[in-house]
Amino acid sequence: MISSLFHSLCARHGLGLVLVCIAAHCYAQSSKDQDLAASTSAAKRSTPLEQKQAAQDRSQAAQAPSQSANSSLYPPEQVQAGKTLFVAQCSFCHGRDAGGGESGPDLMASALVGQDVHGEKIGTVIQNGRPSKGMPAFDHIDEQQLAALVAFIHDRKAKAKEGRRRTVDVADLQTGNAEAGMRYFNGAGGCAKCHSTSGDLAGIAGKFQGLDLLKRMLYRERERTSESTPDGGSPAESTKAIQTATVTLPSGETVTGKLAYHDEFTIGITDPSGWYRSWPVTRVTFTVTNPLEAHIEQLGKYTDEDMHNVLAYLQTLR
């Protein structure tokens, strides 16, 4: 059949034209095969990290239209109302632009915000708070205010500049040596003087991973219990991280309590009875004990290698 078709074409158009068409078709197919082979070869030459980054880029590109679409559903006046409320109620922790602040995370990079549709996830967190993480409940705001906050947060996420630093994955921090970290922990670092791998650090890697664990190791803040107080209030602070002061009065009497105030003029404490007491610093002598002082001093001693080695060791404590 192919032979008959060939002879028919030759009879109608001439052998030369037919041969030109066949050659053009073969050249186009050859170019396509070469492009496919080059693409496959390039993919094989890329490293696993490059392939992972490429996959993330494709994922972000796929998500971009949905984020823009989500943002476009909110009218400008609602976004502006949400901005005013956010600055007044939320900016202290999350920053004025929702990019992260004193103690709150960057909401533009939040996985929860990325999964949210019309406030179904964000709204619950805003109204109920996250007491275990220090976030209070904002149950006093009405539905209109809540919708405005959701609109502003989505608008900020959609308008976040391209090229913002991606989040730090656990894999990004896997550069340390756990054995070297253990030696530093028990030796030069002095960590074992205050911490125990079978006590306060037992299972620490199961509670914190990646950047959260590194931040806790370097910038240890006041610990909070995971449960609320009996009256439903905020979690109580651990006494391990509370600064205390011992004040010696002119009479020789000593008073010890939680450090409540200290500047160049005054030292104030809350005594065991709950009373606030203060004295001019020129009339008393005093010592302040900060359980986190060792962490602060250690920041100036760590090398990058020490830091990642200790982190690698902590990651083994599951």
User: What is the pLDDT, as a whole number, of residue 239?
Assistant: 40
Of 70-74, 106-110, 246-250, 282-286, the poorest mean pLDDT is in 70-74
Q: Where in the chain is the domain with CATH 1.10.760.10?
A: 67-158
Q: What angle do CA 132, 134, 139 make, to 5 degrees?
A: 95
Q: Where would I find the H helices in the chain?
A: 2-13, 15-45, 48-72, 76-89, 91-94, 111-115, 122-128, 143-158, 178-186, 204-207, 210-218, 293-299, 304-314
What's the topology of domain 242-290? SH3 type barrels. (2.30.30)
Task: Say what the pLDDT of residue 284 is.
Answer: 96
- State yes or no: pLDDT of 273 exceeds 50: yes
3-state secondary structure (DSSP) of residue 71: helix
Percent of the chain residues past pLDDT 70, beyond the cut: 67
pTM of the model as a whole:
0.42
User: Which carries the bigger pLDDT value, residue 21 or residue 267?
Assistant: 267
Please write the tens of the pLDDT for every residue from 165-203: 555 667 778 889 999 999 999 999 999 988 999 998 999
Pick from 75-89, 121-135, 144-158, 261-275 the range whose average pLDDT is largest: 261-275
Neighbours of 49 (CB within 10 A): 10
Interatomic CA distance for residues 164 and 99, integer angstroms: 11
Neighbours of 193 (CB within 10 A): 8
Domain with CATH 2.30.30.100 in the chain: 242-290
Please state which of the four CATH numbers 1.10.3720.10, 1.10.760.10, 1.20.140.10, 3.40.50.1110 is assigned to the domain occupying 67-158. 1.10.760.10
Say what the pLDDT of residue 285 is: 96
